Amino acid sequence: MLDFVTLKPVWAPDCQRRALHFARIILSGEICGRVWLLLYLKSTHVPVSLLRCPLRMDQRRVEPNQNTSTNLVTLYGEFTVTGIRKVRCAVSLTDKDLIVQRLTSAPAERNRLVFSLKDCVGCRAYRANDSSDPAAYLAVYFYLQKRRWVSSGVSRQRVERCFRLSALQDPCANQEEAEKWARAVRERSAQQHHLRDGMLMSELSRPFRMMLMVNPQSGKEKALALYNHHIQRMLNEANISHTLVITERQNHARELVREADLSQWDALVILSGDGLLFEVINGLLERPDWEEAIRTPLGILPGGSGNALAASIHHYSGASPVFSEKLLVSCGFLLCKGLVSPMDLVSIHLSSSPRVFSFLSLAWGFIADVDIESEKYWVVVQEEDFVLVLALYQSHLAEDLLAAPDAALNDGIIHLFYIRAGISRVALLRLLLAMEKGAHLATSCQHLVHTKVQALRLEPYSPKGIMTVDGEVVEYGPVQAEVHRGLARLISG
Ligand SMILES: Nc1ncnc2c1ncn2[C@@H]1O[C@H](COP(=O)(O)OP(=O)(O)OP(=O)(O)O)[C@@H](O)[C@H]1O
């Protein structure tokens, strides 16, 4: 439970007493004559990284089960492959895999394909349009991790396996058999345990209803095309019903979720940049029923220019880095899996504007300048501006900037970075290049400081500058921020 008014954090009961004693001003000093930075850390003998929240309702600790049967065949059938009727195959469904064995005279291993049900988003049974065809069909949709042709990395690629079931003369009996298979594949796919740090993530119950907000202006103005080319099909394959909302202007999404009847929706998802999610989160927290509203599962699909949260979710899934449409496919896959995890939010108090809630970053200086100005110029900023303060709570600052590699969605930690004045242009460039792979912390740069905090206050002394929250410009001036662990919920696969 968190008290939003006084800015005093109230922590999980077991840490509450200690947490109320803030060790104020661990670090206080003038950084390059432009910024005063005051850090508030929790009481001295409770290392930040050791603080634990009690298990939340949507998390259950899973004990390893030694007796779990893993690979018993639960369904077996012999079908033809759709489109190549001469090819027959034996299909076996186990708890974990779908195994397809082509029935030919060639050695068995050579014609055997094993598809992990972890990679399956959906399965459906259907009849062909041709009413004289008594067969039923079974389509199974996988997004497999495959090696790319041109590089050493892997990315998810769509694979559809479609079988023709025609063992019986009665079309209804064939259809029933196909339905039985489809149900079994769906159930076993859903049963795959998704563990993260020993926690079982909760799953959205099927079918779930989703509001999908698309900002047609975000990024390279391709968000709608991305929906048409990838997302619509994936959602259909996963049997997720959704209502598409195309945002028309700034703050449209914010107003929409502020007024919406949330009982109609199991999830609010955006296909856009990070800016639209900022609106959605703040719209939910402006509602009178904000405590319940902010528990609505949120989702993000990358359609903007930065896509920091989408890249972070992909990173947390343990997959190797991918960009643009490959990142979209990965995030679409994670969305279809519908696994929900708590997500930290940070409340930010500006000097005279209303408080806002942030899920990504608070930045002052160079990065803020670049974030905003680059949309117009890709600008080279002045030497004296080569100083930054960045508070980040996700791993990525953009698709290709892995700024805090060990960040997590729900660890209650703000990663604070600042670069002291005096750093040369070359050293700064080297740092930013190293950040592409998350290697900047290993460069031993004297000017870079990284520390983990739970609250901070930033007082800029320079009269002008740019400050951003989640990549959006906010009022420039003193600012105070505090993390609220697991306040929101995010579909993160
Ligand atoms: N139809 C629209 N026309 C203009 N602006 C819009 C529209 N819909 C939403 N917006 C505004 O666009 C802003 C930026 O959107 P978004 O963050 O999605 O894209 P981006 O800035 O390109 O991506 P990123 O944040 O990843 O850099 C948001 O603040 C949102 O309010």
Domains, the chain, in order of start with CATH, read 10-47+194-493 (3.40.50.10330), 73-192 (2.30.29.30)
Question: Which ligand 1 atom minimizes the distance to the CA of 274?
Answer: 25
pTM equals 0.83
| Nearest residue (CA) to ligand 1, atom 16 | 273
Does residue 305's CB lie within 6 angstroms of at least one atom of ligand 1? Answer: yes
Centroid of ligand 1 to alpha carbon of 216 (angstroms): 8
| Ligand 1 pocket, residue 302 CB under 6 Å | no
For residue 302, the tally of other CB atoms under 10 A from its CB is: 31
**Whole-angstrom Cα distance, residue 319 to residue 338?**
17
Q: What letter represents residue 257's amino acid?
A: V
- Reported for 282-285, long-range contacts at CB under 8 A and 24+ positions apart, including other chains, are 282/254, 282/356, 282/357, 283/253, 283/254, 283/255, 283/256, 283/257, 283/258, 284/257, 284/258, 285/357
pLDDT of residue 464: 80
Between CA 122 and CA 234 the distance in angstroms is 9
Strands 467-469 and 455-460: unpaired
Return the residue matching tokens 């028309």: 248
pLDDT at 446: 87
| Integer Cα distance of 490 and 38 in angstroms | 30
Any ligand 1 atom below 6 A from CB of 405: no
CA 352 vs CA 9, 326, 410, 462: distances in Å = 22, 41, 29, 18
CA 246 to ligand 1 center in whole angstroms: 12
- Contact between 464 and 436 under an 8 Å Cβ cutoff? The reply is no
Residue numbers annotated as active site:
274
Where b means 16+ CB within 10 Å and e means fewer, 24-37 reads eeebeeebbebbeb
Q: Among the atoms of ligand 1, which is closest to the Cα of residue 216?
A: 1
Which of 213, 218, 244, 305 most suits a substitution to test ligand 1, by most atoms within 8 Å of the C-beta?
218
**Alpha carbon 246 to chain centroid, angstroms:** 21
Question: How far away, in angstroms, is 222 Cα from ligand 1 center?
Answer: 12
- The pair of structure tokens assigned to 195 is 């563990």
Is the CB of 250 within 6 Å of ligand 1?
A: yes
Ligand 1 nearest atom to the CA of residue 215, by list position: 8
Cα–Cα distance list, 275 to 154, 236, 291 (Å): 29, 27, 22
Check: complex ipTM more than 0.85: yes
SS3 content of the chain, % helix, strand, coil (to 5): 25, 35, 40
pLDDT values of the chain reduced to their tens digit, one per residue, 493 residues: 222 222 222 223 333 222 222 222 222 222 333 334 444 433 322 222 222 222 222 222 223 333 334 579 999 999 998 877 778 999 999 999 999 999 987 776 778 999 999 999 999 999 998 888 999 999 999 999 998 766 668 999 999 999 999 988 899 999 999 999 999 999 999 887 665 555 556 778 777 899 999 999 998 899 999 999 999 999 999 999 999 999 999 999 999 999 999 999 999 999 999 999 999 999 999 999 999 999 999 999 999 998 999 999 999 999 999 999 999 999 999 999 999 999 999 999 998 889 999 999 999 876 665 554 444 438 333 334 446 889 999 999 999 999 999 999 999 999 999 888 788 888 888 998 999 999 999 998 888 989 899 998 888 777 788 899 999 999 999 899 999 999 999 999 7
pLDDT score for 199: 59
For a substitution probing ligand 1, which of 212, 276, 323, 468 has the most ligand atoms within 8 Å of its CB?
Answer: 276
Please give the Cα distance from 26 to 105 (Å, whole number): 74
Could you tell me the two tokens for 359?
Answer: 């899920």
**Cα 300 from Cα 81, distance rounded (Å):** 36
Residue located nearest, by CA, to atom 4 of ligand 1 = 249
Q: What residue owns the CA closest to ligand 1's atom 12? A: 250
274 touches ligand 1 (CB under 6 Å): yes
Q: Token pair of 241, please?
A: 């019903």
Ligand 1 atom with least separation from CA of 246: 1
Closest C-alpha to ligand 1, atom 3: 249
pLDDT score, position 5 = 21
Shortest-distance atom of ligand 1 to CA 275? 17
Q: Is 272 in the pocket of ligand 1 (CB under 6 A)?
A: yes
Residue 388's identity, in one-letter code, is: L
Residue 158 to residue 142: CA distance in whole angstroms? 6
Task: Please state the φ and ψ torsions of residue 236, each to the nearest 5 degrees.
Answer: -65, -45
